[in-house]
Amino acid sequence: MSRHIAFLSDVHGNLPALEAVLNDLSKRGITEWYFLGDILGKGPSVKEPLDLIRENASSVVYGNWDRLVVRMPDNEKFGCPFYDKRLSHTDKQYLTALPETIELNFAGRTVCAYHGRFSVPKVVTPMFNNERENVEEAMYRFGAHDITIMGDSHHPFFFTHQGRFLMNTGAVGNPCDKMPLASYLILHDDDGVFSSQHVRVPYDVARAVSIALHTPDLPQLQTYITETVTARYQRHYSSNK
């Protein structure tokens, strides 16, 4: 018997990217999917991604942007007032109540999934902070699971260490690995045979830019557009995302 599940992360207000990924999941017949945080931030769309994720995801954890907006709604540095005033009281309650981790069993393996920031001090990517101690800290933050899955870094990757796996979904709406394609992760269980697959999905980048340009008072407009078009991170990795 087969089972296929997906992990998504880091929409960052990019509705066209999220819609493209959900359409791809539908074509594959995957209905069990988990979201690993950062619905909010950077991009212009707030309610639409939140509603799609809340109504359709099997489970959701908080991201650093989600937590930042609900905890520091007056923080002008990150444009929190823009996002805060587009959220209802119910939305804020939902975001505040999101857990830190998702744990499940898959193909005879234990799986732990979380966002990254607020749980570990450094963002692990294939190029930055990939020293053994940082990989181990990310992998064992919530115990010795067979598979640990993260978002946050906006770089899809697959590391192995002592027979265990550390995977990153990459970003749905804000990839920063120089490939402007939405990214997500699938785990496959085909009659007990385990495999994983990073999927890259093309989406309407021009539409994403147009939505941003037609959204009054969007904070960090040019940064968002540049990152969306080039898939290049615009700030140093040691700073906040």
Asked if 148 and 164 touch (Cβ cutoff 8 Å), the reply is: yes
Q: Specify if 236 maps to a domain.
A: no
How far is residue 202's CA from residue 207's CA, in Å, rounded to a whole number? 12
CATH of the domain at 93: 3.60.21.10
pTM comes to 0.95
Query: What pLDDT score does 1 carry?
Result: 85
Q: Specify if 40 maps to a domain.
A: yes
Query: What pLDDT score does 162 carry?
Result: 87
- 123 is in which domain, residue-wise? 2-230
Query: What pLDDT score does 238 carry?
Result: 37
Q: Specify if 143 maps to a domain.
A: yes
How far is residue 37's CA from residue 152's CA, in Å, rounded to a whole number? 8
Q: Specify if 60 maps to a domain.
A: yes
Domains held by the chain: number: 1
Q: Specify if 149 maps to a domain.
A: yes
SS3 string, 186-213, reads EEEEECCEEEEEEEEECCCHHHHHHHHH
Q: Specify if 240 maps to a domain.
A: no
Per-residue pLDDT, averaged over 122-137, amounts to: 90
Residues in CB range of 106: below 8 A, 6 or more apart: 3, 5, 147, 187, 189, 194
Q: Specify if 239 maps to a domain.
A: no
Structure confidence by residue, pLDDT tens digits, 147-169 = 999 999 999 999 998 899 999 99
Does 241 score more than 60 pLDDT? Answer: no
Specify the residue for token string 């181990």.
Answer: 136
Structure confidence by residue, pLDDT tens digits, 62-98 = 999 999 999 999 999 999 999 999 999 999 999 999 9
Per-residue pLDDT, averaged over 18-27, amounts to: 98
Q: Specify if 126 maps to a domain.
A: yes
